[in-house]
Each structure stands twice: as C-alpha cells, then as structure tokens.
Amino acid sequence: MTLDNLPTLNYPPIHLRARRTPNGRTEIFDAVRGKWLVLTPEEWVRRHVVAFMLSHCGYTTQHIVEEYPVAINGMAQRADIVAMCRCCKPYLVVECKEPNVKIDGDVLAQAVRYNSVLGGRYIVITNGLQTYCYAHNEGKYLPIDHFPYAEKGE
C-alpha cells in the first residue's frame, strides 16, 4: 500500500512522514504514539481523525490514546481512539474503519460495547467518508451534528 492509492477522505488533508521498508511496505510515523506504523486503509483513516481532533477540535496529544485496551467479557480488545477529559477519564471513543467498510449498526454496536466499559460522554464512528457522532445521555446515544470538541477548561 502506498499513499498514492489511498482515497481522499472527508477530513482536511494531512501531512505524513512516510518511509518504505526493505520488504516494500509503506510505514507512516504516528507522532501521538511516537512510532512507525504500517500504512493500512484503517490507519489512513485514524491518522486523519487524530489530525482533525488536534487541529479543529481542541484536543492535544496528551488527551489522545490510540489502541486503548478494553476488556469485554474477559476478551482483550482495543478502541481505536480514546480522548481523555481533564480528570484523565475517557471522554470520547472513536471507532475507525477502512473506507470500504460500511458504517452501519454493527459498527455503532461495537463502539457502544467499548463505551459501556469506558464510560465516555461521546462516541464517533467513521470510515473517513462517513462520520456519525453521538452523545451518551442517560443510557441512550443521541445523534449530534458535529464532532465533539475537547472538554472545556483544560
């Protein structure tokens, strides 16, 4: 996979540090985790979402945890992106899918499962082309018309 054959997403363009490995794979540098990652379609989406959160929504790299561990029924799973509030508790859970994956009830159910353990105020599900945002209120997930901003007062 190379940067040339990835789709344009419905997020602002981003700048990536990329390199080619000896075996021909493309890797990109993740500044949040401080490491090189294999470029996959899902990682392409995740990089755009994180960049958007940092540039447009008031989050800092200290707020963001990628591949956040979540134990569900004794099984180790990982939420793609979790943004923390100022009290260091999950505030926003983002589930990223590659662009060719349909964003449907199954993806929403996955994010809700993660959030049932994490207890965030918001969830977002996206494939980079479609993005849906929800506020968690009294056990219900209500659609909202914007990407959740960082908690105020930080």
Q: Indicate the number of domains in the chain.
A: 1
Domain holding 102: CATH number? 3.90.1570.30
Residue 107: which domain range?
A: 3-144
Q: Closest Cα partner for 96 from 61, 121, 132? A: 132
Share of the chain above pLDDT 70, in %: 96
How do residues 89-146 score in pLDDT, each as one tens digit? 999 999 999 999 999 999 999 999 999 999 999 999 999 999 999 999 988 999 999 9
pLDDT at 154 over 50: no
Determine, yes or no, domain membership for 151: no
Task: Return the half-sphere exposure (C-beta side, CA atoms, 13 A cut-off) of residue 27.
Answer: 13
How many CB atoms sit inside 10 A of residue 30's CB?
17
User: Does residue 129 sit within a domain?
Assistant: yes
- pLDDT tens, residue by residue, 46-86: 999 999 999 999 999 999 999 999 998 889 999 999 999 98
Instruction: Find the radius of gyration of the CA atoms of the chain.
Output: 15
Residue 1: pLDDT band by 50, 70, 90 thresholds? low
- In a domain? residue 83: yes
The mean pLDDT value for 26-40 works out to 93
In a domain, 152, yes or no: no
Task: State pTM to two decimals.
Answer: 0.93
The answer as to whether 73 is a domain residue is yes
C-beta neighbour count of 7 within 10 angstroms: 14
Q: What is the pLDDT of residue 11?
A: 96
